Structure 1
Amino acid sequence: MTGAGLLKHEGALPRLGEAENERDADLSKNTLERVYRALTAEDDGRVCLDIPESACNHQPRNFLTHIVSLGATKTADGLIDPKLVLAWLLTHLGAPAAFIGLLVPVRESGALLPQLFTAASLRRLAQRKWAWAAGSVVQGLAAISIAIAALTLEGAAAGAAIITALAILALARSVCSVTYKDVLGKTVSKSRRGTATGTAASISSLFVILFGLALASGIFDRSSLVPSAILVAGGLWLMAALLFSTLQEEPGSTEGGRNPLKAAWKNLSLLKKDAQLRRFIATRGLLISTALAPPFMVALSASETATSAFGGLGLLVIASSGAALLSSYVWGRLADRSSRKVLIFSALAATLALAATLILYFTGQLQAVWALPAVVFALMIAYQGVRLGRSTHLVDMANEDTRAAYTALSNTIIGVLLALGTVFSLLAEVAGVATVIGVLAVMSAGAAVVALGLEEVQASDSEA
Structure 2
Amino acid sequence: MNSQAIDSTADSTHSKQQPSRLDSLYDLVTGDEDARVCKDIPSESCHDQPRNFFAYLLANLLTKVADELASAKLVLPWLIGWLGAPALIVGLLVPIREAGVLVPQLAVAAYIRRLPVRKWVWIIGSLASAIALGLMALAAATTTGALAGWLIVGLLVVFSLARGLCSVSAKDVLGKTVSKARRGNLMGLSAGIAGALTLALGLYLKLLGDGANDDILFVLLLGGAALLFVLAAGVFVLIREQPGATAGGGNALTAALESIGLLRSDALFRHFVLVRTALLSVALAPPFYVLLAQQESGSDLGALGLLIIASGLANSISAPLWGRFSDRSARLVMVAAAALAGLLGILTWALVQFSAPGPTGLGFAALFLVLGIAHAGVRLGRKVYLVDMANSETRASMVAVSNTVIGVAMLAGGLIGLLGDLYGTAFVILTLGIASIAAALSALRLREVSEPD
TM-score, structure 1 as length reference:
0.92
1:163-174 equivalences under 5 Å are 163-174=153-164
**Are 1:47 and 2:37 counterparts?**
yes
* Cα offset, 1:32, TM superposition: 1.9
What residue identity is the alignment partner of 2:20?
N
Instruction: Measure how far apart 1:302 and its partner are.
Output: 6.8
Mapped pair 1:233 → 2:225: yes
- Secondary structure (helix, strand or coil) at the match of 2:277 reads helix
Gaps of 5+ in 2: none
Report how far residue 211 of structure 1 moved: 1.1
Which position in structure 1 is the counterpart of 2:311? 320
Q: Cα gap change, 1:247/1:154 in structure 2, threshold over 3 Å: closer, same or farther?
A: same
CA deviations on 1:97-144 (whole Å, 9 max, x unpaired) are 222222112111111000122211111111000000110010011111
Correspondence 1:288 to 2:289: no
**1:63 has 2:53 as partner:** yes
SS of aligned partner of 2:261: helix
Q: For 1:261 and 1:431, how far apart are their aligned partners in 2?
A: 43
> Is the Cα–Cα contact under 8 Å of residues 140 and 215 in structure 2 kept in the other structure?
no
1:35: how far off?
Answer: 2.0
Match of 1:341 in 2: 332
| 1:40-439 correspondence to structure 2 within 5 Å | 40-44=30-34, 46-218=36-208, 220-301=212-293, 303-305=295-297, 307-362=298-353, 363-364=355-356, 366-439=358-431
2:142 and 2:10 map into 1 onto residues whose CA distance is: 55
Number of equivalences:
448
The C-alpha deviation readout for 1:269-307, integer Å capped at 9, x for no partner, is 1111111111111111111111111111233347532x4
**Aligned pair in 2 of structure 1 residues 302, 82: CA closer, same or farther (>3 Å)?**
closer
Shift of 1:21: 10
1:324 aligned partner, one-letter code: N
Note if contact 2:27-2:34 (Cα within 8 Å) is conserved in structure 1.
Answer: no
Residue 226 of structure 1 deviates from its aligned partner by: 2.1
Alignment partner, residue 38 of structure 1: 28
Residue identity matched to 1:370: L
**In the alignment, is the contact (CA less than 8 A) between 1:95 and 1:155 conserved in 2?**
yes
Secondary structure, counterpart of 2:73 in structure 1: helix
2:438 alignment partner AA: G
Tell me if the contact between 2:95 and 2:411 (Cα under 8 Å) persists in the aligned partners.
yes
Whole-Å separation in 1 of the counterparts to 2:11 and 2:221: 41
Q: Is the 8 A contact 2:169 2:396 kept in 1?
A: yes
Contact residue 303 and residue 367 of structure 1 kept, 8 A: no
Shift of 1:220: 4.6
Task: Give 3-state SS (helix, strand or coil) of 1:125's partner.
Answer: coil
CA RMSD, 1 decimal: 2.1
Matched residues in 1 for 2:233 and 2:417: separation? Answer: 37
With over 3 angstroms needed to count, the CA separation of the structure-2 counterparts of 1:301 and 1:99, relative to structure 1, is closer
CA deviation after TM superposition for structure 1 residue 264, in Å:
2.0
Conserved? CA contact 2:273–2:402, under 8 Å:
yes
Q: 2:181 is paired with a residue of what secondary structure?
A: coil
Q: Which runs of 5+ in 1 are unaligned?
A: 1-7
SS at match of 2:242: coil
Whole-Å separation in 1 of the counterparts to 2:79 and 2:125 = 24
* CA distance, structure 1, for counterparts of residue 291 and residue 225 of structure 2: 28
SS in 1 for 2:38: coil
Q: 1:44 to 1:171 in 2, by over 3 A?
A: closer
In structure 2, the CA distance between the partners of 1:56 and 1:366, relative to structure 1 (3 Å rule), is farther
Task: Give yes or no for contact 2:349–2:427 (8 Å, CA) kept in 1.
Answer: no
Partner of 1:5 in structure 2?
Answer: none
Q: 2:346·2:434 contact (CA, 8 Å) conserved in 1? A: no
Give the direction of change, closer, same or farther, for the CA distance of 1:365–1:301 in structure 2 (3 Å limit).
Answer: farther
Q: Deviations over 1:162-220 (max 9, x none)?
A: 11111111011111111111100000001000111111111111111111111111175
Distance 1:365 1:385 in 2: 31
1:82 aligned counterpart, secondary structure: coil
CA distance in 2, matches of 1:427, 1:240: 40
- Matched-pair contact (CA < 8 Å) for 1:198–1:328: yes
Q: Does the 8 A contact of 1:115 with 1:175 survive in 2?
A: yes
Q: In structure 1, what is the Cα distance between the partners aligned to 2:385 and 2:409?
A: 20
Q: Contact 2:64/2:191 (CA < 8 Å) preserved in 1?
A: yes
SS, match of residue 421 in structure 1: helix
Q: Is the 8 A contact 2:140 2:218 kept in 1?
A: no
Distance 2:117 2:34 in 1: 31
SS in 2 for 1:150: helix
Is the 8 Å Cα contact of residues 306 and 362 (structure 2) preserved in structure 1?
Answer: no
Return closer, same or farther for 1:365/1:66 CA change in 2, 3 Å cut-off.
farther
The CA deviation at 1:246 is 1.5
Q: Contact 1:144/1:234 (CA < 8 Å) preserved in 2? A: yes
